[in-house]
Structure 1
Amino acid sequence: MNILFIGDIVGKLGRKALEINVPILINKYKIDFIIANGENITNGKGISLTHYGFLKAHQIDAITLGNHYNHLEEIYSFINNDDIIRPLNIKNEKEGAGSRVFEINGTKIRVTNLLGENTAKFEISDSYNSVLDILTNDDSDIHIIDFHAEYTGEKKAFAYSLKNSVSAVIGTHTHVQTRDYQKLSTGPLYISDVGMCGLYDSVLGVEKDSVVERIIFKNDNARFKQLNDGKTIFSAVVLRFEDITFKPLEIIPIYNVN
């Protein structure tokens, strides 16, 4: 069983990177199931119904989100669809689900989405305790967690705390792919951050000059910009599992510039 996990898709160029790379990777790695983080797909913040449709048209099976999950109000017109996973540990969010199970050729794949500390402006519950109830009653064959968080240490400590009760903990949010991809001694496949899909010559997918003006030169009137043209980056990982026991085998980083 080979699963492709695609990092935060940022704007139009993130979508372009996905279009270029996904068909090639499906063929090369014999991909059975695809997860993508879609929280930045619409102009860098949130996901529109149109771009939800774009992901479905490009063979994405499960769509995880993050701190910008409800930046666009229209998310509530499709957040209850069975392939959308918003963060599980958001307090006072009654719509949508933070963990869903998908069945592929008889194999049950659970995908869970969590937010880390200091990642969102709204109130969240503790990530570890939020996932305990799911783990207690889970009968899935493979369980992959998208941990959308700022701190690499928090992500790795969380992964270790779960021991071998999940198959993979994949970090998202920082838009920078880390080199610590590994199979942890406790069992799960792990990476602190899978990275992003978007503009290559940028700051986290945002046009670089607008970021410099706002962050470095402290110009409060400067606004972050999304470009429609330029070289793209595609960041993802391939997660390999044994076909019968579903034991985690290998995590393969993908970092393509097109």
Structure 2
Amino acid sequence: MNILAIGDVVGSIGSRFLRAHLPHLKKLKGIDLVIANGENSADGNGLTPASVQFLFDSGVDVITAGNHSFRRKESYELYDSCEYLLRPANFPPSAPGKGLCIVDMGRTQICVINLMGTIYMDGLDSPFDEADRLLAKELPPITLIDFHAEATGEKRSFGYYMDGRVSAVFGTHTHVQTADECILPNGTGYISDLGMTGPIQSVLGVKPELVIEKMRTKMPVRFALAEGDCRMDCALFHIDDKSGKTLSVERIQIQ
């Protein structure tokens, strides 16, 4: 199975860029399933029913999220009604939605799990403990985790903790693609962060001058998305159907 994981999609500009390039990439690489982090897919952070539908219509099969999951109240009901829209599983049980889905591919099933780190992030339940609880269930051999986290140390620790227990762990959240894609010793594909789908000349998708003003003055600044040329950061995991182990990892950046 060829499974593509796409880094944080930023706003309508990133969503349009994804739509323009994903179909060709799927055909070129023979991609079977597409996972994208869409928690920033609406302009101004968060996601909306419209931004979620746009990504699904563009060829994304599963949408994951993170610390901006519940930025928009209009998304709350969507988390409960949409089978393939996830929020981190270590949110409290009272939160809308779920953190795990299983996609039936006919000849096989694929499980996608969404978890969030706790270092420099919101104080959620331990992602390590939550992963243990989820993996105690009977899950398909092919299981992938979007680990939405800030600290590289936490991401790599989590990757090794999952090594041999899931097919792949890919990080999101920092919007900066890392060059550490690999297969861990027991067969789990790994990358610390997929990167971002959005404007290149930006600070995490935002106009640089606005972020600079915020950092220099320490005063409230209304952020706006940057414009111009975009890129789509992603990683392609080639996974054995039977063993669920990753056979290869390819880091991809499309401009």
Q: TM-score range by the shorter chain?
A: over 0.9
Alignment length (residue pairs): 254
TM-score (norm 2): 0.95
Partner of 2:175: 175
Partner of 2:69: 69
Partner of 1:97: 98
Partner of 2:223: 224
Counterpart mapping for 1:228-247 below 5 A: 229-247=227-245
Q: Which moved more, 1:184-193 or 1:64-73?
A: 184-193
C-alpha displacement of 1:77: 2.0
- How big is each residue's C-alpha offset from its partner over 1:210-254, in whole Å with a ceiling of 9 and x where there is no partner? 111111x22514221113x41001101111012444331111111
Partner of 1:114: 115
Query: What is the rounded CA distance, in whole Å, between the counterparts of 1:248 and 1:64 in structure 2?
Result: 21
Instruction: Mark the runs of 5 or more structure 1 residues left unpaired by the alignment.
Output: none
Query: What is the rounded CA distance, in whole Å, between the counterparts of 1:137 and 1:222 in structure 2?
Result: 45
Partner of 2:163: 163
1:209 matches 2:212: no
Query: What is the rounded CA distance, in whole Å, between the counterparts of 1:49 and 1:119 in structure 2?
Result: 29
Output the amino acid matched with 2:114: N
Mark the CA change 1:61 to 1:20 in structure 2 (over 3 Å): closer, same or farther: same
Mark the CA change 1:119 to 1:64 in structure 2 (over 3 Å): closer, same or farther: farther
What's the Cα RMSD here?
1.4
SS of the equivalent of 2:247 reads strand
Partner of 1:27: 27
Q: Which moved more, 1:31-40 or 1:95-104?
A: 95-104
C-alpha displacement of 1:161: 1.2
Query: What is the rounded CA distance, in whole Å, between the counterparts of 1:236 and 1:256 in structure 2?
Result: 8
TM-score (norm 1): 0.94
Asked if structure 2 preserves the Cα contact closer than 8 Å seen for 1:67 and 1:119, the reply is: no
Asked if structure 1 preserves the Cα contact closer than 8 Å seen for 2:141 and 2:242, the reply is: no
Partner of 1:85: 86
Mark the CA change 1:104 to 1:150 in structure 2 (over 3 Å): closer, same or farther: same
- How big is each residue's C-alpha offset from its partner over 1:40-76, in whole Å with a ceiling of 9 and x where there is no partner? 0001411100111101111111110000000000111
Partner of 2:252: 254
Query: What is the rounded CA distance, in whole Å, between the counterparts of 2:173 and 2:17 in structure 1?
Result: 18
Query: What is the rounded CA distance, in whole Å, between the counterparts of 1:158 and 1:2 in structure 2?
Result: 23
Query: What is the rounded CA distance, in whole Å, between the counterparts of 2:245 and 2:117 in structure 1?
Result: 26
C-alpha displacement of 1:135: 1.0
Asked if structure 1 preserves the Cα contact closer than 8 Å seen for 2:164 and 2:245, the reply is: no
Partner of 1:144: 144
Query: What is the rounded CA distance, in whole Å, between the counterparts of 1:119 and 1:42 in structure 2?
Result: 24
Asked if structure 2 preserves the Cα contact closer than 8 Å seen for 1:164 and 1:186, the reply is: yes
Query: What is the rounded CA distance, in whole Å, between the counterparts of 2:42 and 2:232 in structure 1?
Result: 17
C-alpha displacement of 1:256: 1.6
C-alpha displacement of 1:159: 1.1
Partner of 1:188: 188
Query: What is the identity percentage for the equivalent residue pairs of Structure 1 and Structure 2?
Result: 37
Q: Which moved more, 1:236-245 or 1:37-46?
A: 236-245
Partner of 1:154: 154
Partner of 1:133: 133
SS of the equivalent of 1:202 reads coil
C-alpha displacement of 1:92: 4.8
Output the amino acid matched with 1:22: L
Asked if structure 2 preserves the Cα contact closer than 8 Å seen for 1:160 and 1:186, the reply is: no
